[in-house]
Amino acid sequence: MDGLPAPVPEGVSVAEATAFARDNSGHMAMFLYANPRADQVNELAEAWDLHPVLIEDLINAGQRPKLERYGETLFLVARAARYVDKTEEVDFGEFHVLLRPGAVAVICQDDRWISAPATATVDEDNVDFGDRERALLADQTLLRMGPIAVVYMLLDTIVNGYGPVLRGIAHDKEEIERQVFSGDISVAERIYRLSREVIEIQQAITSMTDAVDMLRSGTDKQAISQELLMRLDAVADDLTQAAAKTAMLRDALTQILSVNATLVNQRQNEDMKRISGWAAILFAPSLIGGVYGMNFEIMPELSWGLGYLFALGLMLALAVMLYLVFKRSKWI
């Protein structure tokens, strides 16, 4: 069918597949690398004559989301995310996309495709795609739009994955709120850890927004069909909404931390009041006992038959009186 990618024999090199797409109008070469080896990256770099700095980025990974141009090659870094509820951590996956006329390469840097199950394994002989990746390979209408359509599908899949992450964080935020008001003293550490995850996802979303904006308004805009440009606009809108939700979560966690600190101070003040009250109650009998324990020779009560009972009664009376005073003042 006209416009559909024609099958290429297995075992052809990157250079041969790229040349095939270049020499056959309406076709493209698509390379998907799962857990790529250094020799695979070097083969791609040689076939596409990639810049040395770009080759270094591909091999070393650990890049922030960005969009850069190296000659006729666009280099996109995107970070997918999934939320691990058990550990309350955001698990990021890094993807590199190389885009040039008639060809696109997607490199998975973290051994797992975006929508693949968390337990999926990736090796060079068994590529375990998720539902979204399978949909990409089966969507001939989208593939007709060229290599930029692959970039759109990747971005759309990644951005759609931010929604469940933010919902998971919001759910744990609600649990933390209940934990704070229940008086759990260990909640502060949980707040700090979740805040750190929110900051990381916020940085990823902000960088992704900048990359998508550059892709929409860059020099390659004329090569993007109007329909695909509208789809990229929808991705940008989704990123804007995700950024707003992330900012709200970060502000909410900051407020929760402040409330928790206030409650902790209040509980500490109440504890100090109780300690001070009981210390005063115990101090009065100790003071009387200490005076009588001096055993001076001239003490009228020493020769009094009821002196011992009088001292005990005085101790008890003072203790009861102080207890009632502190109880009325809500110190104990």
pLDDT higher than threshold 80 for residue 58: yes
pLDDT at 241: 93
Place of tokens 């099958």: 7
Burial class (CB in 10 A: 0-12, 13-18, 19+), 221: exposed
Sign of CA dihedral 19, 22, 27, 28: positive
Q: What mean pLDDT do residues 241-263 have?
A: 90
Indicate the CATH number for domain 14-263. 3.30.460.20
pLDDT at 247: 93
Check: CB of residue 262 under 8 Å from CB of residue 186. Answer: no
For residue 295, the model assigns a pLDDT of: 66
- CA torsion, ordered 108, 112, 114, 116, to nearest 10 deg: 150
Q: Cα-flanking dihedrals φ and ψ of residue 36, to 5°?
A: -70, 145
pLDDT-based confidence at residue 297 (cuts at 50, 70, 90): low
Domain 265-328: CATH superfamily is Magnesium transport protein CorA, transmembrane region (1.20.58.340)
Per-domain residue ranges for the chain?
14-263, 265-328
pLDDT tier at 250 (50, 70, 90 boundaries)?
Answer: very high
* pLDDT score for 240: 93
Hey, is 66 helix, strand or coil? Answer: strand
* More confident call, 312 vs 8: 312
- Can you name the residues that pair with 99 across neighbouring β-strands? 74, 104
Long-range contacts of 72-77 (CB under 8 A, 24+ apart): 72/100, 72/101, 73/48, 73/98, 73/99, 73/100, 74/98, 74/99, 74/100, 74/215, 74/220, 75/99, 76/151, 76/211, 76/215, 77/211
DSSP β-ladder status, 66-70 and 73-84: antiparallel
Which residue pairs, CB below 8 angstroms and at least 24 apart, start in 138-144? 140/1, 140/4, 143/4, 143/5, 143/28, 144/3, 144/4
Q: Residues 119, 130: contact at Cβ < 8 Å?
A: no
Looking at residue 93, its pLDDT comes to 84
Give the pLDDT score at 113.
66
Q: What is the pLDDT of residue 132?
A: 64
Q: What is the pLDDT of residues 254-272, one digit of tens each?
A: 998 888 888 877 777 777 8
Torsion angle, CA of 266/272/276/278, rounded to 10 degrees? Answer: 90
**Short-list 57, 61, 65, 80, CA closest to 209:** 65
Region 82-90: mean pLDDT is 86
Higher pLDDT, 295 or 27: 27
- Global pTM reads 0.72
DSSP one-letter code for 225: -
